[in-house]
Amino acid sequence: MQPDALDELFPSHLEAIGAATAGALAACGYDALILHSGGLRAVDFDDYPYPFKAHAAFKLWAPLADNPDCFVLVQPGRRPRLLFNRPDDYWHKPSPLPDSWWTGAFDIEPVTDRAAARAAIPNPGRAAFIGDATGFGDWGFAAVNPAPLLTRLDYARARKTAYEIACLRAANRLGARAHTAAAHAFESGESEYGIALAYMASITVREQELPYNPIIALNSGGAVLHYQVLERRPPAEHRSMLIDAGATFACYGSDITRTYSRSDPDFAALVGRMDEVQLALCAGVRAGVDWRDLHLTAHRLIAELLHDSGLITLDAEAAVDTGLSSVFLPHGLGHLLGLQVHDVGGTLASREGGEIARPPGHPNLRLTRVLEEGYVVTMEPGLYFIDSLLAGAKAGSHARHIDWARVAQFAPFGGIRIEDDLAVTASGCENLTREAFRTLS
Ligand code: GLY
Ligand code: MN
Ligand code: MN
């Protein structure tokens, strides 16, 4: 992705988010919006800050990940202003004023501290503020994080602009490159930690620059959905790797999972079948599809796979209806993706609010909306051998429907998840992840 293409796409991005913001401000009775990038937060009883994470609502306008105490001022009908924080600081190196594909659209004004920013904001009494409220109580804003305004802005964020999709495409290319490096590190017998280093080195990032901490699980660790340990020592045997890791481009993150079998043909066959299921589900993604239906379809397909693989004896429909499929797949099929890995507004019924209910028995589904062109979603069916869920099943009515010897055969491999990022179109979707791997090879 060349910056000049982003140059061309950014003005219409700004126009679209400007129109959505103007509509939301008018509906809620504010004249202006102040977006704060966020403040540094010190560790308790210490003078050292937590890693800085800029607010997504701010990054929607200005793709700045590393600059606390910056403000975007949005006043409909005017050019947006960026108050860019350049503290007079000899402990840290102040960032230079940004100069990139997006900066021409802003009036950029350096400020040295919050007091200078406060002085540069006209009529706070007519403006809504969005950000971390700490420290802004006496600035006189009309409202701080008002829920009706947040709901409208969150709802609109599901539909990405062409610029945002271009950023997510680029984030997938970086992710695919790093995943390929990680797969080589797995093949050469590295530890989880060694694989993580190979992942990050291949795209020259450190962990805090990734959209989320990489999940790199060897062997049975794959059964832990958000496995957070990076074992420093290689295991005695490399049976499998589940790697769920993304990369960031201009504040937009990819979210990609692959599962590898080192040498076991049965587990490799199971991974191959899951890949077919995942692709079949991707083929069902288009505008107008209710994500809840697709989630239930995924359960039926995985129940068929479990049945055909000799893991369960119930037929697929009964396995879904009785909750048996959820023993092996306890998470949702996917979620909105964008500036946040689990992007906002996944269950909102309308821009005014309200919640679209999850299907009964599926409490972890993060997306219940009907897909529209421009949504970007993850497609991440899984199949896991999770001790605690299997123990519960063994103690209950599911016990006689599970082939426990077959479960014991696969448990040392942990589980399988295959996750791609999809940009929804009117007639189907663009698979940003598969396309990124394809252009690599
Ligand atoms: N990486 C977190 C998720 O897939 O939702
Ligand atoms: Mn993931
Ligand atoms: Mn995901």
- Rounded to 5 degrees, what are φ and ψ at 284? -90, 5
pLDDT in tens, 80-133: 999 999 999 999 999 999 999 999 999 999 999 999 999 999 999 999 999 998
Q: For residue 331, give the ligand 1 atom closest to its CA.
A: 5
Length, in residues, of the chain: 441
**291 and 395 housed in the same domain:** yes
Same structural domain, 138 and 36: yes
**Among candidate residues 117, 140, 156, the one where a domain is terminated:** 156
| Three-state DSSP class for residue 33 | strand
Where a domain ends, among 156, 174, 206?
156
pLDDT tens-digit map of 330-358? 999 999 999 999 999 999 999 999 999 99
CA-based torsion, 222, 224, 227, 230: positive or negative: negative
138 and 204 in a common domain: no
| Interatomic CA distance for residues 400 and 393, integer angstroms | 9
For residue 298, the CA-to-ligand 1 centroid distance in Å is: 17
User: Is residue 251 domain-shared with residue 386, that is, in the same domain?
Assistant: yes
DSSP labels, 103-168: GGGSEEEEESSHHHHHHH---GGGEEEES--TT-TTS--SEES-HHHHHHHHHHHTB--HHHHHHH
Q: In this structure, are 170 and 271 located in the same domain?
A: yes
Q: Summarize pLDDT for 268-287 with one digit per residue, the tens.
A: 999 999 999 999 999 999 99
Q: Which of 193, 73, 80 is nearest to 131 (CA)?
A: 73
Domain boundary among 99, 124, 156: 156
Print burial letters for 17-36: b (CB count within 10 Å at least 16), e (below 16): bbebbeebbeebebebbbbb
Q: Rounded CA gap, 285 and 424, in Å?
A: 7
Query: 411 φ, ψ to 5°?
Result: -55, -35
**pLDDT at residue number 37:** 98
**DSSP helix/strand/coil, 374:** coil
Instruction: Give the model's pLDDT for residue 4.
Output: 55
pLDDT band (50, 70, 90) for residue 441: confident
Q: What is the pLDDT of residue 297?
A: 98
Computed over every residue of the chain, the mean pLDDT equals 97
Atom of ligand 1 nearest to the CA of 419: 4
Provide the sign of the torsion angle of the four alpha carbons 149, 152, 157, 161, taken in this order. Answer: negative
Q: How far is the CA of 94 from the centre of ligand 2 (A)?
A: 33
Residue 327 predicted with pLDDT over 80: yes
Same domain, 238 and 117: no
Q: Are residues 246 and 377 in the same domain?
A: yes
Considering the domain architecture, whether residues 235 and 370 belong to the same structural domain is answered as yes
Q: What is the CATH number of the domain that holds 66?
A: 3.40.350.10
Amino acid at 223: A
Q: Same structural domain for residues 166 and 152?
A: no
Who contacts 335 (Cβ-Cβ below 8 Å, separation ≥6)? Answer: 341, 342, 343, 346, 366, 367, 377, 378
Is the per-residue pLDDT at 383 higher than 70? yes
135 & 221 share domain: no
pLDDT of residue 151: 98
Residue 230 shares a structural domain with residue 326: yes
Task: Give the residue numbers spanning the domain of 275.
Answer: 162-440
Q: Quick: pLDDT tens for 390-432.
A: 999 999 999 999 999 999 999 999 999 999 999 999 899 999 9
pLDDT reading at 3 higher than 50 = no
Q: Which atom of ligand 1 is nearest to the CA of 366?
A: 5
Nearest to 113 by CA among 138, 151, 86, 74: 86
Q: In angstroms, rounded to a whole number, what is the distance separating the alpha carbons of residues 341 and 264?
A: 32
Distance separating alpha carbons of residues 291 and 288, to the nearest angstrom: 9
Q: Cβ-count burial of 338 within 10 angstroms (0-12 exposed, 13-18 middle, 19+ buried)? A: buried
If you measure from the C-alpha of residue 122 to the centroid of ligand 1, how many angstroms do you get, rounded to a whole number?
41
Q: Is the CB of 255 under 6 A from ligand 1?
A: yes
Question: Do 177 and 196 share a domain, yes or no?
Answer: yes
Distance, CA 170 to ligand 3 centroid (Å)?
A: 17
Pick from 213, 215, 343 the residue to mutate for probing ligand 1's pocket: most ligand atoms within 8 Å of its CB: 215
| Number of structural domains in the chain | 2
- Indicate which ligand has the atom closest to the C-alpha of 379: 3
**Per-residue pLDDT averaged across 433-437, rounded?**
98
The pTM of the full predicted model, rounded to 2 decimals, is 0.97
Mutate to test the pocket of ligand 1, among 419, 420, 421, 433 (most ligand atoms within 8 A of CB): 419
